Structure 1
């Protein structure tokens, strides 16, 4: 394998994780209602638990998106003729291989440019892709795409993929701002490939985030283990219940940790004490679900025009192509 085909550009400051975690926890635990961003689930244990979640019978999004990609990747390759595939939050890049295969077969792809906060995940995935795609250049970037959308000199046209319905972790205002950032970063011959989970039966949605085996409960509580380890906190994860609720007003699933009884947690490194009332919730994730008409309008407001919309046969999930205005 020619290692020179793999580059890894680390754009994160040395104290990124500690300073961002401190700021997020201080802000989130001193407001009402209390919240934490979902990105702090994903240490090594959290990432392993999420991989287990994607294989659970209740958790349909990963399978549904893969069904669409399996069926539509050749069409996507023909429509985009992308020379560069950029992927935000790429992680292990497993699903991406369906796109890489189709674009490689189409003869247009020259570069894969994954962007993620995990240098180790990018390095591992990058080496594997260099091995399996001998003509492909891999230009990986360690960055937080929410604050630093690191698009530089990639050959065009470019296809920017944001898969897994990660967009659902943003509220409406955050999504519009994010689309605007993307539209400014892309040029006229580039395209956005977006994965979006769709509004459906409430029970199906809630079960996807509250599985019978309890894996999602462990995943949710893992954020407390992260705070204990990284910030010297003394949370008792067993003193909280995992709760998944459907918020009909905002059409989103919310994951929460609910205090079983009155309790106090001390976060040593922040010199912070947090008191929880019995039954008080700490919201750890929102997962917004979408309808075609509202998502189309959102994208338009954010600077994109919807060109193609595909769903799996059961209409659970959508994959869409949009172009910057």
Structure 2
């Protein structure tokens, strides 16, 4: 069995402290908002996996098509000996890259979930017994220090997850990624593309109601972790396309006037009838916009691939100059 290591850079209670801070900040501001990362407890992760199989939800299939078709080009262009995956989760998509990165020495999955990292590492090592895996329990949005591994390194941020960051957060994130890149390293970035509004809204408001359950699951997290007195049935799932910002917003809309008690924070949160809580932003991109955001972070767009329908893109970027 190849070497397997796990390093924790998050304190043991970091997740709980971050949840309390985000809820206190997000539910006392106007308009109310919570970060989408709080969807993903065990049940939320199950629901998202179900979403990825829905006919309306195209991003996962579109990105998989690119990875399968372009993995040889990605391998040839990067010659990567280390693959770093940010927000790796189950590392399902990574398998398409691993098959082609024949010179790969090390895989560094980065996630806040220890259980997800352990499960993914065990599965990967079965198929790639010579691979060195160094898992990091870390929040990649708060700065990251990578272990010593051989270069060149390919840093992968897939799934269109960068769209969940607001513009200022994206800029900060891309600068932090640039700081990780040494000469010869590259960033592989997945971005969902701007398209017909009806297609976008259906992807986030499916007929079976799975996305609605996923959205409302954040309320179950608050009830379990913070003893919040909240009933998901008191809220409706809402998905809207913001044409000016070119992003989808998911919201929870109060069906009636109500108050949510959160004893863990000594907080009472009033909602008026029809008041909305924003739970996710999912920005959609154009090639020129991606190029501009990379340039602002001192990176150059080197390659651009889309699926056959032009719905999703993978881009390869390198340090500028």
- Provide the TM-score with structure 1 as the length reference: 0.97
SS at match of 1:246: strand
State the alpha-carbon separation in 2 of the partners of residues 213 and 150 from structure 1. 42
What's the C-alpha RMSD, in Å, of the aligned pairs? 0.7
Kept in 1: contact 2:143–2:176 (CA 8 A)? no
1:92 to 74, 90, 93: 90
Alignment of 1:1-325 (within 5 A): 2=1, 5-104=3-102, 108-325=103-320
Kept in 2: contact 1:6–1:127 (CA 8 A)? no
Alpha-carbon distance, 1:6 to partner:
1.1
List gaps (5 residues or longer) in structure 1. Answer: none
- Provide the TM-score with structure 2 as the length reference: 0.99
Alpha-carbon distance, 1:46 to partner:
0.2
State the alpha-carbon separation in 1 of the partners of residues 145 and 195 from structure 2. 35
Pairs aligned (count): 320
State the alpha-carbon separation in 1 of the partners of residues 47 and 262 from structure 2. 25
Alpha-carbon distance, 1:84 to partner:
0.2
SS at match of 2:139: coil
String of CA shifts for 1:96-128, please: whole Å, max 9, x gaps.
000000102xxx110111000000110111111
SS at match of 1:130: helix
Runs of 4+ in 1 over 2 A off after TM superposition: none
String of CA shifts for 1:221-248, please: whole Å, max 9, x gaps.
0000000000010111001000000011
